[in-house]
């Protein structure tokens, strides 16, 4: 025989399963009733060009680590200076660069103690949480109207067309893949 307590527990289990099934059904019905709407985040179609100037130390070697940049030798650039031009869409990204300096420890075609600086230009896109906070009122309003907003960043090709200009007199200071040609030690400033 089944005890009274077991019957109550079994009835509670069945009632819980029924309520869970009803809740899942209502949630599925609500979800399928949503419409989808897209919001384009681009406000301008115009690209902006920004220049970044890097002053080289005397005797410093430079390696540009961007594989997609154009290196141009230009007499109008002052000796010992690198002019980096970046074309980008300011509403979609921000530009910056980082450098790392190494010193040669010997065993190669470079002098011991010679400095090598790696320069890398990069762009980074917008932060999703910032975009959500900026559009939160529209998002909440759309949820009340059973519409799901999707924020889309329009594709405009490469957001950063990079050109590196250097004086022809500094051509011998611009190296390619020097880290593999000698022993270098990271220089902590």
CA distances (Å), origin 148, targets 27, 88, 128, 139, 151: 15, 30, 16, 8, 10
62 and 121 Cβ atoms separated by less than 8 Å: no
Q: pLDDT class for 10, splitting at 50, 70, 90?
A: very high
pLDDT of amino acid 159: 54
pLDDT of amino acid 9: 92
Condensed to tens digits (0 to 9), the pLDDT of residues 113-165 reads 788 888 887 776 666 677 778 788 888 898 888 888 887 765 555 556 678 89
Instruction: At 2, list the tokens.
Output: 């089944």
Residue 15 has pLDDT above 80, yes or no: yes
pLDDT of amino acid 92: 65
pLDDT of amino acid 183: 62
Condensed to tens digits (0 to 9), the pLDDT of residues 79-126 reads 999 998 887 777 667 777 888 888 877 766 677 778 888 888 777 666
Cα distance between residue 125 and residue 128, in whole Å: 9
Q: Where are the alpha helices (DSSP H) in the chain?
A: 4-33, 128-134, 136-144
pLDDT of amino acid 44: 55
Instruction: At 15, list the tokens.
Output: 């009632």
Question: Could you state, in order of their start, the residue ranges of all structural domains in the chain?
Answer: 4-33, 48-125+157-186
**Cross-strand pairs, 71:** 164
pLDDT of amino acid 161: 63
Mean pLDDT, range 28-50, rounded to an integer: 76
Condensed to tens digits (0 to 9), the pLDDT of residues 55-71 reads 988 888 888 877 777 88
Using DSSP, state whether 153 is helix, strand or coil.
Answer: coil
Cα distance between residue 120 and residue 97, in whole Å: 5
Higher pLDDT, 77 or 152: 77
Cα distance between residue 158 and residue 163, in whole Å: 13
Higher pLDDT, 73 or 2: 73
* DSSP assignments along 80-105, one per residue: TEEEEEEEE-TTTEEEEEEEEEEEEE
Condensed to tens digits (0 to 9), the pLDDT of residues 41-59 reads 665 567 778 888 999 888 8
- CA-angle at 129, arms to 87 and 156, nearest 5°: 30
pLDDT of amino acid 160: 65
**Nearest-CA neighbor of 167 among 33, 53, 50, 65?**
53
């Amino acid at each position: 025989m089944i005890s009274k307590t077991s019957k109550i527990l079994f009835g509670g289990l069945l009632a819980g399963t029924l309520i869970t099934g009803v809740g899942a059904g209502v949630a599925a019905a609500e979800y399928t009733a949503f419409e989808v709407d897209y919001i384009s985040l681009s406000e301008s179609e115009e690209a902006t060009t920004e220049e970044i100037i890097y002053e080289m130390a005397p005797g410093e070697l430079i390696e540009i680590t961007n594989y997609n940049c154009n290196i141009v030798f230009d007499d109008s650039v002052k000796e010992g200076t690198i002019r980096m031009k970046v074309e980008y869409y300011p509403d979609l990204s921000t530009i910056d660069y980082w450098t790392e300096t190494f010193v040669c420890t010997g065993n190669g075609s470079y002098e011991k103690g010679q400095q090598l600086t790696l320069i890398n230009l990069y762009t980074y896109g917008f932060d999703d949480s910032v975009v959500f906070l900026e559009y939160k009122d529209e998002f909440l309003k759309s949820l009340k109207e059973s519409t799901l907003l999707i924020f889309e960043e329009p594709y405009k090709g490469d957001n950063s067309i990079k050109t590196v200009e250097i004086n022809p007199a500094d051509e011998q200071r611009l190296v390619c893949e020097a880290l593999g040609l000698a022993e270098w030690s990271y220089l902590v400033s």
